[in-house]
Structure 1
Amino acid sequence: MKKYKNRSFIKIGVMATLALIIISSCSKDFLDRPAQGQYSEGDYPFSAGSGAFDPAIFEAYDALRLYGVHSAGFQAAVSIRSDDADKGSTDADGPSTRQFDDLTLTSTNGLTNGMWLDHYTMINRANLVLDRIKKDQSPLTPQAVKLSGQAEAKFIRAYAYFMMVRYFGGVPLIDSISTDQVSTSNKPRSTPAQVYTLIESDLQFAAANLPASWENKFIGRLTSGAANGLLAKVYITQKKWAQAKAAANQVIQSGQYDLSTPYNTIFGESGENSKESVFEVQASATPSETRRYGVQSSANQGVRGTGIWNLGNGFNVPSALLNATYEAGDPRKARTFLFAGGTSIYNEPVPANLPNPIYNHKAHTSPSYRARYLDNFGYWMNVRILRYADVVLMYAEASNEVGGTVNTQEALAKLELVRFRARGGNTAILPIVTTTDQEELRQAIRRERRVELGMEYDRFFDLVRWETVGPVLRAAGKPFVNGRDELLPIPQAQIDLSKGVLTQNPGF
């Protein structure tokens, strides 16, 4: 499967670059562009399975790989801020990341400003796709191609805003291309409710108009399952339990996904785009282009050693508190924790003398791929954003919250699906959960989310939506302040650019 991804996403990168060249040659102003899509039968250039909008669509996908979207700031905000991870690396390294760990964030933190900018880059690229499709008047462009392109763009825009509203609260809503740069840079913050309304609308459209799957040459493109899965997470974040259950059920009933991929396999190169994968950011490499089409995610978390063990920056390391959460004998712990002095999933002896005693095993790259690309830093590794196990656990949680005998039994059944896979045939571990008490089952599902999805970018947001974030993080030794630390500060640089139109979050 990796070979398809490499070929298609190298092509995507080239096409996206060409698209930018064409755009920049049309006008000095990126937002000032002519009408699109005027083709005749003699010059219509797109073969079956692709369309007139693919270069712009692929450029929107490319934004998912930006540093401010899925690298250091992302890991710091969703993982290091929580009780599941520590900053890692060395004491002197990463003062901006240290602020996330210690909850001492300021409005001048460089990572948060990069996150703001790169998410709006993603939103702008999605809006550009929608603008092009809206302006297309060619009778040769199939309506299905237009709808699918709009759906991909709306998913990407919705995902960007979903991350932004959870990071910053209400943010400016920019849902169209405008030539008036002053009005867009000085746009005030919308309310979180307004942001969620757009997110839900975009994902509902995406779910209705994306295909269930793509042919192999387009592996990794968004599907209706991805849209419904993300929609379930959007609903569950807002405690819309019935809607969350229904959206998760759409994914389950689609038949496109299952839990057949062994837990040990999911996170390595061979597990990319498996039956477990609902939405993952695609990365790629060749021996001559090891980083250009990649993501600096594994590199940021890789073992910080020397020689062949110089694999990355060593940030975002699993915490002792996460370690203590696993039930006795749970095999998932070994795939999450890479211990100094231990052995990797690839049977490599790990040096004992490393800056940190533990690293994120899920971010560890295969030595065969390092040899193939003559590079240690793993830019080719996909980033798993939404797995099928997550969807199943959201269904279980929503069912339990809706309540009633039938829903309780459904919640137990879905919880057991995840534990059955984790058990790996060993009936002596991970006993079947049988409680029908709503609170006991609630805690069992929450504990299962923590260990199944350990180091996978959900813990902080889960704590916030469960309204337990303050007590949990203070118990972990973090000076969490309720009403302040649920959100990140609005970057001061953006407030200054807006001439004060943007307002700061409380406490910063």
Structure 2
Amino acid sequence: MNRIMKEKNIIISLLFLILAFTACEDHLDKQPLGELSPENFYSTAEGAEAGVNAAYSYLRHYDLVGLPFIAGGDIASDDSDPGNKNNKASIEFDEFTFSPSSSLMTNWYSGQYVLIGRANIVINSESEFVFEEDLQKRILAEAKFMRAYGYFNLVKSFGGVPKITVLPELDGDFIPRATPEEIWQLIDEDLEYAITYLPERSEYSPANLGRVTKGAARGLLARAFLFRNDFEKVERYAMEIINSNEYTLFPDYEGIFTYDGENCSESVFEVQATRSESGNKTGTDKYNTVQGSKAKYWDPEQGKFINNQGLGWGINSPSDDLEAAYEDGDPRKDATIAYVGDTLYDGRSIVVRNSKNHGTKYNQKGILPLFYDGTDNKVTGGGGGANNPANVRLIRYADVLLMAAEALNENDKPTDALVYLNMVRERARGDNPDILPNVTTTDKLGLRNAIWHERRVELAMEQNRYWDILRQGRAAELLQALGKNFVEGKHNLLPIPQVDVDATEGVITQNPGY
């Protein structure tokens, strides 16, 4: 637990320095620098908000949106292949040969606890708050959402894990694993608080675009109940989002995943990122880069195509099985899968073959070409070093509609379920009435399969598929049919990182089969 205490000291010190520098400017309405110190940092609105912003910033970290996120959500599933021939970590997820010592386990597990630790620092500082009460509640609600998000990733991945809600004393004791039920209860409580005190999306000022909202909390809670097959509660929270009239499906499916589609009408929650010319790491860390492909783009200054080395090395390639899953004419296939020779949405970049890759398919949702600022000034789209300017879409309104459809069908309301399922299909078909006809069956099993199919093709390559087939109880059947080494009863959970088992002298126990 030393890491959490160190994290608090580092965060407070860094945030104090940031506020100290900004106070040297012309922010005369803020507390004078002489009255602000690390000891009373969280007593101010500036300090508390900076604290919760530290949690937001960690959402962009490699541990949370980089290869651990992609490998667990896509590469382990039937939707994706590793792509790169030389990336051992992604191949281990594809072949289910990972172990407690695999690097991505440590990244994914420890990364959630860093996020939780940052949220806990803010939550545990509530007694120090001496600013306006409504803002106090909002900041606490944002921090509790972050804590719930971290624990949601942990419990769906590892089962029961140590439950840490306060900053532990450094007395040498280790915290054992809580039960999954205890972790789910904490998630529920945190998100109920967030729903109560967060604003709706429309109630935020433009300056607060990207902060978590009441809709985001409801969406995450609906997803949390989906993993427990509590369909009455899934229906409740999904319908609260729908009835809020805060969100609509974006008319252009492909456009959702471009720069112009960031924070669009169907964005319920996404990780905010921007490219910094000074390199101060305000972008995501390799999320889109690792999904990109080599490409060439038309350079108007030179009047020719030149190689673009900023689009990654092709990890996370759409599988043949996913390609075959699309119905004839479904435009989402071309919006999701980029082939060698394709011109990307900027009209300039062309996908070319990368010799390090298997196959010729790439995740188009993850390929962000060079883009232009309106004056033909090139700004790198890809690139590592936590400076990738692309937002990560975590919850879309289409997902909410499909959660509602699934819950309504399971709750014996098939006619209502069809309304939301067909809304998603209608947006996908666009102006072409000859494709993606409305689903009409009210048979429970048939409609369930139709909804599961729609989730696959609508949300493909968005890091949902593996978790979906796990909760549906279909992982062994689907993955073994493709020759993957998924073992029922073992791979339903990931292994606890061996370093954590060893460091706690076995107080944190290992999952079965590892």
Tell me whether the two structures share a fold, i.e. TM-score over 0.5: yes
Checking the alignment, whether the CA contact within 8 Å between 1:290 and 1:375 is kept in structure 2 is no
CA distance in 1, matches of 2:13, 2:41: 18
Relative distance call for 1:60 and 1:409 in structure 2 (3 A) is same
CA distance in 1, matches of 2:208, 2:222: 25
Is 2:162 the partner of 1:153?
no
Partner residue in 1 for 2:180: 192
Partner residue in 2 for 1:19: 15
Alignment partner of 1:59 out of 38, 43, 54: 54
How far did 1:293 drift? 3.5
CA distance in 1, matches of 2:324, 2:380: 37
Which secondary structure does the structure 1 equivalent of 2:325 belong to?
Answer: coil
Which secondary structure does the structure 1 equivalent of 2:82 belong to?
Answer: strand
How far did 1:304 drift? 4.0
Residues 269-308 of structure 1: pairs in structure 2 closer than 5 A: 269-289=259-279, 291-304=281-294, 307-308=307-308
How far did 1:294 drift? 2.9
CA distance in 1, matches of 2:209, 2:434: 39
Alignment partner of 1:387 out of 359, 382, 396: 396
Partner residue in 2 for 1:330: 330
Partner residue in 2 for 1:12: none
How far did 1:262 drift? 1.1
CA distance in 2, matches of 1:144, 1:74: 34
Is 2:402 the partner of 1:401?
no
Residues 175-186 of structure 1: pairs in structure 2 closer than 5 A: 175-180=165-170, 182-183=172-173, 186=174
Which secondary structure does the structure 2 equivalent of 1:167 belong to?
Answer: helix
**Letter of the 2:397 counterpart:** Y
Relative distance call for 1:299 and 1:434 in structure 2 (3 A) is same
Relative distance call for 1:454 and 1:37 in structure 2 (3 A) is closer
CA distance in 2, matches of 1:21, 1:499: 38
**Letter of the 1:222 counterpart:** V
How far did 1:260 drift? 3.1
Which secondary structure does the structure 1 equivalent of 2:199 belong to?
Answer: coil
How far did 1:116 drift? 1.4
Checking the alignment, whether the CA contact within 8 Å between 1:261 and 1:274 is kept in structure 2 is no
CA distance in 1, matches of 2:58, 2:220: 18
How far did 1:289 drift? 2.6
Checking the alignment, whether the CA contact within 8 Å between 1:244 and 1:394 is kept in structure 2 is yes
CA distance in 1, matches of 2:316, 2:473: 24
CA distance in 2, matches of 1:130, 1:21: 21
Is 2:494 the partner of 1:491?
no
How far did 1:290 drift? 7.4
**Letter of the 1:94 counterpart:** N
What TM-score results when the alignment is normalised by the length of structure 1? 0.88
How far did 1:346 drift? 2.6
How far did 1:311 drift? 1.1
Checking the alignment, whether the CA contact within 8 Å between 2:68 and 2:104 is kept in structure 1 is yes
Alignment partner of 2:114 out of 98, 106, 121: 121
**Letter of the 1:145 counterpart:** L
Alignment partner of 1:168 out of 158, 165, 179: 158
Partner residue in 2 for 1:236: 226
Which secondary structure does the structure 2 equivalent of 1:433 belong to?
Answer: coil
Checking the alignment, whether the CA contact within 8 Å between 2:293 and 2:352 is kept in structure 1 is no
Partner residue in 1 for 2:25: none
Checking the alignment, whether the CA contact within 8 Å between 2:294 and 2:352 is kept in structure 1 is no
CA distance in 2, matches of 1:289, 1:17: 21
How far did 1:36 drift? 5.1
Partner residue in 2 for 1:201: 189
**Letter of the 1:399 counterpart:** L
Partner residue in 1 for 2:417: 411
Higher mean alpha-carbon deviation, 145-154 vs 308-317, is at 308-317
Partner residue in 2 for 1:351: 352
Residues 81-120 of structure 1: pairs in structure 2 closer than 5 A: 81-89=76-84, 91=85, 93-120=86-113
Checking the alignment, whether the CA contact within 8 Å between 1:261 and 1:275 is kept in structure 2 is no
Higher mean alpha-carbon deviation, 342-351 vs 468-477, is at 342-351
CA distance in 1, matches of 2:252, 2:244: 21
Alignment partner of 2:468 out of 456, 462, 465: 462
How far did 1:349 drift? 2.9
Partner residue in 1 for 2:26: none
How far did 1:16 drift? 8.2
Is 2:511 the partner of 1:505?
yes
In the alignment, structure 1 segments of 5+ residues that lack a partner are 1-14, 24-32, 40-45
Partner residue in 1 for 2:257: 267
Checking the alignment, whether the CA contact within 8 Å between 1:162 and 1:199 is kept in structure 2 is yes
Alignment partner of 1:78 out of 66, 73, 76: 73
Partner residue in 2 for 1:439: 445
CA distance in 1, matches of 2:397, 2:371: 27
How far did 1:277 drift? 0.3
Alignment partner of 2:368 out of 358, 365, 373: 365
CA distance in 2, matches of 1:260, 1:349: 26
Cα RMSD (Å): 2.0
CA distance in 1, matches of 2:198, 2:477: 41
CA distance in 2, matches of 1:289, 1:261: 35
Higher mean alpha-carbon deviation, 382-391 vs 361-370, is at 361-370
Which secondary structure does the structure 2 equivalent of 1:279 belong to?
Answer: strand
CA distance in 1, matches of 2:41, 2:83: 49
Higher mean alpha-carbon deviation, 365-374 vs 460-469, is at 365-374
Higher mean alpha-carbon deviation, 297-306 vs 206-215, is at 297-306
How far did 1:367 drift? 2.4
How far did 1:228 drift? 0.3
CA distance in 1, matches of 2:12, 2:435: 49
How far did 1:20 drift? 6.2
Relative distance call for 1:344 and 1:480 in structure 2 (3 A) is same
Which secondary structure does the structure 2 equivalent of 1:349 belong to?
Answer: strand
Checking the alignment, whether the CA contact within 8 Å between 1:151 and 1:206 is kept in structure 2 is yes
**Letter of the 1:397 counterpart:** E
Partner residue in 2 for 1:255: 245
**Letter of the 1:225 counterpart:** G
How far did 1:179 drift? 3.0
CA distance in 2, matches of 1:149, 1:346: 38
Cα deviation code 1:255-291 (max 9, x no counterpart): 1100134101100111000111001011111333374
CA distance in 2, matches of 1:278, 1:17: 32
**Letter of the 1:416 counterpart:** N
Partner residue in 2 for 1:68: 63
Which secondary structure does the structure 2 equivalent of 1:480 belong to?
Answer: coil
CA distance in 1, matches of 2:443, 2:212: 38
CA distance in 2, matches of 1:189, 1:153: 22
